Amino acid sequence: MSTRDLYVNAGRESGTGQGTDGGGALAWTVPATGAARFSWEAMFVGQKDGSGRERLLNLYQKGKDKQWDGAKRIAWDLEVDPLDPLGTPDEAMSIYGTRYWDRMNAAERGELRKHYTSWQFSQFLHGEQGAMVCAARIVESVPDLDAKFYSATQTMDEARHAEIYSRFLHEKIGMLYPINDNLQALLGDTLRDSRWDMPYLGMQVLIEGLALAAFGMIRDTTDKPLPKQILAYVMQDEARHVAFGRMALRDYYKQLTDAELREREEFVIDGCYLMRDRLRGVEVLTNFGIPLKEAEEYSERSEYLQLFRQLLFSRIVPCVKDIGLWGKRLQQAYVDMGVFDMGNSNLDQLMAQDEEIAEKLDAERFAAEEHERVAEVSEAIAAGAADA
């Protein structure tokens, strides 16, 4: 089946008219801005010049060492029930307890779960493609050669992530959602800006920060092994991406004027409100015949979603503070959103944990396989002894 056939709402008129729908086109074009920069000042891994660039080259080395293949590392033969891909409890559904929910039978509730997972993982997929394009843009536009080297490894990481989410949606869910209009708008703003730090800020800090928090919440709550593997392994890569964004921006923002910093803070504030209020999967509910206004109300009221919305900022707030965007207006915005205290959480610790979880999962899977192999061998030996 072609991807077009798997898309929900294919052919529907979208808000921006430039999405995957809007006349059914499965393409989107953003004109390029900014300069392609070359540097003749070549560094190599291991070369010491006493500057902070060694850290960047070490990250590049790590990026090379930690490449992996999604086709091999993930156990794609694990089965997934498309009507309950993540094991989501009833109470976590946004319309749980409403008359719409009460009216649904088990099959319809399964269908709703399928749509929600499809919507969520489709946004992950589209976000990963955005990350791939932004990482490639950074290769082109960032002034230093060592930063280009590192970003090239990240471009490959993001390609792997997009490939994996795409495969999950095609093979295991059988349904895709177009990119959310607001996610697309934020991505467009990020790409259209000619200042070289904006793809880092919009993509690495905001969109990826949000995605990382969402991945983490699902990774830590789902009891389904396939999505758990996918999320744990993708998150292992993201720890490097966040480290890179922090390193590059922290140094650069020290050189900016107050006015320039305030501009970036405004961008962060707008982006955060937009992601909090406009990325909730309301389009899933309207597909089930629930009027838009009601759908928005349910998403707003759902206790689970409120908690989810706050946790979504657990990676962004400490990162923004760390890179030096911590002016009064931004602080006030985070107080209003109820996420100000997250600025104190330890990002390094969270990242180290992400790596550990992925490695532990590998170790467990390896031990289980080894156990099976040993059992097979002793069976074969026993069978051989019985024959003799």
Judged by the rule CB under 5 A, the positions of this chain that interact with Fe ion are 128, 131, 158, 161, 208, 238, 241
Decide: 255 and 249 in contact? Cβ < 8 Å. Answer: no
- DSSP 3-state helix, strand, coil percentages of the chain (rounded to 5)? 70, 0, 30
Q: How far is the CB of 233 from Fe ion (least distance, A)?
A: 11
Separation CA 6–CA 1 (nearest Å): 7
Nearer to Fe ion, 158 or 265 (CB): 158
Nearer to Fe ion, 146 or 237 (CB): 237
Q: How far is the CB of 121 from Fe ion (least distance, A)?
A: 13
Q: How far is the CB of 77 from Fe ion (least distance, A)?
A: 24
In this structure, how many other beta carbons lie within 10 angstroms of the beta carbon of residue 374? Answer: 10
Nearer to Fe ion, 115 or 228 (CB): 228
Separation CA 57–CA 147 (nearest Å): 8
Q: How far is the CB of 135 from Fe ion (least distance, A)?
A: 7
Q: How far is the CB of 236 from Fe ion (least distance, A)?
A: 11
Which helix (H) or strand (E) element contains residue 317? helix 316-322
Separation CA 229–CA 162 (nearest Å): 15
Q: Which residues contact 338 (CB under 8 A, 6 or more apart)?
A: 310
Instruction: Spell out the SS3 assignment of 196-246.
Output: CCHHHHHHHHHHHHHHHHHHHHHHHHCCCHHHHHHHHHHHHHHHHHHHHHH
Nearer to Fe ion, 98 or 180 (CB): 180
Separation CA 125–CA 312 (nearest Å): 17
Nearer to Fe ion, 238 or 283 (CB): 238
Q: How far is the CB of 156 from Fe ion (least distance, A)?
A: 11
Decide: 113 and 88 in contact? Cβ < 8 Å. Answer: yes
Nearer to Fe ion, 92 or 235 (CB): 235
Nearer to Fe ion, 212 or 295 (CB): 212
